[in-house]
Amino acid sequence: MSYKPRKISIRSEKNKYYCNLYHQNLYSIKVYFQEKQLTLMDLDTYYMEQINNKFDGKIGHKIEVLPSVYYIKTAFLNKNTSRRNYDSKLKTLLNVIYNHLYSRQIFNITVDVKNIRDRFEMVDSSEVFEENGYYTDRKYRTENKFLDPKYLPYPDTLGKGPGRCVIWSIFSVLGLLDHGHEVYSIFSHRKMFEVTSYSDRLLNACLNSQHCGEIIKKMQKGKYKAKFETKDENFDDDIQVSYENGRYMLSEGKHRVCMAKRFNINSIPVEVTITTVDEESYVKSNLLIPQRFYKKFINCENILTECYDRYKKLGLDREDVRTLNETASNSNYVDYLEKITNKNILLLAKEQRKKKMINF
């Protein structure tokens, strides 16, 4: 028999989450921040540490528990009014025991997410499980076609050639790119490519780069050809993507897809592997599996420390970082960073590269 945790009501409104619950239920609420998984208990533990240090244990104050994510906690008593078996003449000690058992403290939790760019989600653990299953009959076919790049995602990795990407190099040296071992992920590869696509300065860097520049110009002039178009082995390998359940995924040609998206190319030649399934071949399992797979648990203090420390190296203080997190969207992040540091992002990267060489 599969077990599902008891559902707890979470209300969300305008980037705020609200819930009323007992202390032991804090473990039942999952919190997803960027690619990290925590529980509401983790946020509450850090909150209470700060409350004890700064406010002598008096709850009700707003505390930053994750970058630009604020936690507020109040409490009230939930008294059980059913006293049919309660004898008012019981001794005082028994009254104390009774009140301990039947008068329980309920916490009113508010999580105010002012961070407009990082991913934050708070859900009851009963909602992050789904029935497991698989299809025994899957069929594959391959087509060559012309596709608008807007239907394709930005790459989440760059395979063997990240060092050839000028954007990858800039964000790596600035400490803004997630390489998989960071406590706080500022940008994944996919998010980095999206954010930088709004910056004319960085688009020019792509256009002038040794690896991407010539291919971009070919695409812009309509001269980029796929191998399947020319039958000429001297041409580049085809861009290969897969398609299943209404979604495209990248296989080969990640750099070229990125270029086409960044420079608004209307159509590119791709080789598509399409997967179809026979719905009647679905085999259901009784096991429950998590819907989301996230990297291992990291605590709030470590996330906050790494966030502010990484930006501090770029010359930003805590208020600057909060302004960036709470004001800068994907489309104007680079502009905000340049405004706060009073330096263009290429110069900022050059300075950081020089510092790292000196330290090395």
How do beta strands 138-147 and 247-252 pair?
unpaired
Give the CA dihedral 202, 119, 326, 48, nearest 10 degrees: -140
Give the least confident one: 140-154, 167-181, 328-342. Answer: 167-181
- For residue 25, the tally of other CB atoms under 10 A from its CB is 19
| CA distance linking residue 304 with residue 329, whole number of Å | 20
Label residue 170 left, alpha or beta by phi (over 0 means left) and psi (-120 to 50 means alpha).
Answer: alpha
Q: Are residues 59 and 77 in the same domain?
A: yes
CA distances from 26 to 31, 67, 289 (A): 11, 20, 21
| CA distance linking residue 162 with residue 211, whole number of Å | 11
Which residues are 194's β-sheet partners?
A: none
Q: What are 82-112's pLDDT values in tens digits? A: 444 444 444 455 655 555 554 467 889 999 9
Instruction: Please report, rounded to a whole number, the percentage of residues in the chain having pLDDT higher than 70.
Output: 80
Looking at 94, 127, 160, the residue that finishes a domain is: 127
pTM of the model: 0.81
Q: Are residues 258 and 342 in the same domain?
A: no
Phi, psi of 45 (to 5 degrees): -60, -45
pLDDT value, residue 268: 94
Report long-range pairs for 97-100 (Cβ below 8 Å, ≥24 apart).
none
| CA distance linking residue 74 with residue 109, whole number of Å | 7
Q: Residue 40 in 3-state DSSP?
A: helix
Eight-class DSSP state of 154: P
Q: Are residues 139 and 181 in the same domain?
A: yes
* The pair of three-digit structure tokens given for residue 342, joined into one six-digit string: 């009073």
> Count of domains in the chain?
3
Q: What is the mean pLDDT of residues 264-288?
A: 83
Q: Are residues 103 and 204 in the same domain?
A: no
Asked if residue 6 is part of any domain, the answer here is no
Q: What is the mean pLDDT of residues 214-232?
A: 85
Q: Are residues 194 and 176 in the same domain?
A: yes
Range of the domain at 307: 302-359
Q: Residue 56 in 3-state DSSP?
A: coil
Q: Are residues 143 and 247 in the same domain?
A: yes
Which residues are 338's β-sheet partners?
A: none
